[in-house]
């Protein structure tokens, strides 16, 4: 039985990866930051099947301790400040987690056991203002956000440790991947949740930024399969993971609202303040290497992905409405004062 340690296990990608590794017969540990309050909403169904260990990408000593305790065969580094707009507001913190945090973890592995296989979650945002399309492993990087810059540092430091210390360290350059577990601050989930709430009569509009940006969107459950496959190859290599199709934010929104019989134009307000200071217009993957060498293919289409997210949010809104109604029913009504 192989042992895997996942950083960012309580995030979207981490929860799907934990499920996948358990299904593949792994013993799974999740690295979590010590905090007064923790959110394990995405892991509720897994907490009896995985083990949690304390550690922090900002504290290398804690990483060394965790590695010695877990003794993993594989480490998947999915922890990050992952919201691109937030990176403009917190560029230094983003650099600490997404850049230097990777270095701390790689160096900890080098000191504890350099035979551990390491996966780094790189991002299509590293390509930024692209000069050629689609993008593959040889495409020039030109990031357009602090997030993309920090991810590029993490990517290149992974390459550096691989070449300098003969470590099995690889990066998966993942294009946008979504699911019902996506955070509600991200445009895709913001759109599907708003559509569900509008259909239920709970809100009237949603404010979004640049509707013309085009992205290569896939299903997270497909992409975590690629992560594991990358660590099973005889030679460590970096791989681009995506569907090879690009769709605009407008297309995503139109489809999400249309599935519920809504005209998005009646409910979506374009708010320029929600656009990035420096946006990326178009990203689309060329996953040929992954298809040929990993045997990986996406299984969920763009339309099915949007439908999956809309259906999940409709069910979420329905549950919340039932719960709110039950709470109102159970709340005692104070008697009116008697006026004499």
Convert the pLDDT of each residue in 92-147 to its tens digit: 989 999 999 999 999 999 999 999 999 999 999 999 988 889 999 999 999 989 99
- Percent of the residues in the chain that have a pLDDT greater than 90, as a whole number: 80
Burial of 92 (0-12, 13-18, 19+ CB in 10 A): exposed
Q: Give the predicted TM-score (pTM) of the model.
A: 0.91
Residue found under tokens 């000191």: 111
Which domains are delineated in the chain? 3-182+218-245+285-298 (3.40.50.720)
Contact in structure between 276 and 210 (CB atoms under 8 Å): yes
Query: H-type helices in 259-301, by residue range?
Result: 288-289
**Which positions of the chain have pLDDT values less than 70?**
35-38, 278, 325-340
Convert the pLDDT of each residue in 5-23 to its tens digit: 999 999 999 999 999 999 9
Catalytic residue from among 123, 124, 145, 171: 123
Give the C-alpha separation, 90 to 267, whole Å: 31
Catalytic residue from among 147, 168, 223, 239: 147
Question: For the range 290-298, what are the long-range contacts, defined as Cβ-Cβ under 8 Å and sequence gap of 24 or more?
Answer: 290/226, 290/239, 290/240, 290/241, 293/233, 293/237, 293/239, 294/226, 294/229, 294/230, 294/233, 294/239, 295/229, 296/225, 296/226, 296/229, 296/241, 298/218, 298/219, 298/222, 298/242, 298/243
Q: Is 251 a catalytic residue?
A: no
Q: Which of 22, 118, 131 is nearest to 73 (CA)?
A: 118
Residues 6+ apart with CB under 8 A from 157: 99, 102, 103, 106
Catalytic residue from among 26, 74, 122, 125: 125
In a 13 Å sphere around the CA of 15, the CA atoms on its Cβ side amount to: 18
Q: Is 125 a catalytic residue?
A: yes
Q: Tell me, what's the pLDDT at 84?
A: 83
Q: Tell me, what's the pLDDT at 338?
A: 58
């Amino acid at each position: 039985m192989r042992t895997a340690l996942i950083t960012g296990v309580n995030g979207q990608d981490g929860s799907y990866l934990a499920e996948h590794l358990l299904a593949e017969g792994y013993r799974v540990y999740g690295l979590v930051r010590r905090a007064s309050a923790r959110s394990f909403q995405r892991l509720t169904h897994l907490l009896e099947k995985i083990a949690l260990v304390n550690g922090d990408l900002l504290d290398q000593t804690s990483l060394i301790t965790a590695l010695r305790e877990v003794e993993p065969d594989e480490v998947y580094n999915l922890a990050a400040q992952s919201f691109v707009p937030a990176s403009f507001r917190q560029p230094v913190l983003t650099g600490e987690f997404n850049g230097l945090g990777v270095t701390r973890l790689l160096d900890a592995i080098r000191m504890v056991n350099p035979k551990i296989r390491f996966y780094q979650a790189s991002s299509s945002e590293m390509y930024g203002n692209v000069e050629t399309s689609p993008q593959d492993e040889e495409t020039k990087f030109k990031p357009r956000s602090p997030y993309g810059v920090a991810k590029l540092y993490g990517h290149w430091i992974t390459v550096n440790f691989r070449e300098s210390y003969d470590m099995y360290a690889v990066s998966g350059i993942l294009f946008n991947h979504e699911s019902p577990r996506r955070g509600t601050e991200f445009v895709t989930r913001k759109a599907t949740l708003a559509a569900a709430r509008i259909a239920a009569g709970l809100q009237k509009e949603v404010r979004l930024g640049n509707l013309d940006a085009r992205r290569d969107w896939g299903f997270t459950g497909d992409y975590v399969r690629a992560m594991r496959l990358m660590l099973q190859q005889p030679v460590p290599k970096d791989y681009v993971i995506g569907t090879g199709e690009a769709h605009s934010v407008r297309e995503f929104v139109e489809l999400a609202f249309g599935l519920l019989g809504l005209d998005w134009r009646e409910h979506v307000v374009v708010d320029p303040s929600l656009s990035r200071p420096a946006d990326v217009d178009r990203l689309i993957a060329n996953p040929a290497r992954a298809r040929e060498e990993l045997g990986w293919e996406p299984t969920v289409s763009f339309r099915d992905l949007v439908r999956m997210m809309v259906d999940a949010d409709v069910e979420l809104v329905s549950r919340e409405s039932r719960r709110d109604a039950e709470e109102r029913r159970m709340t005692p009504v104070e008697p009116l004062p008697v006026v004499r």
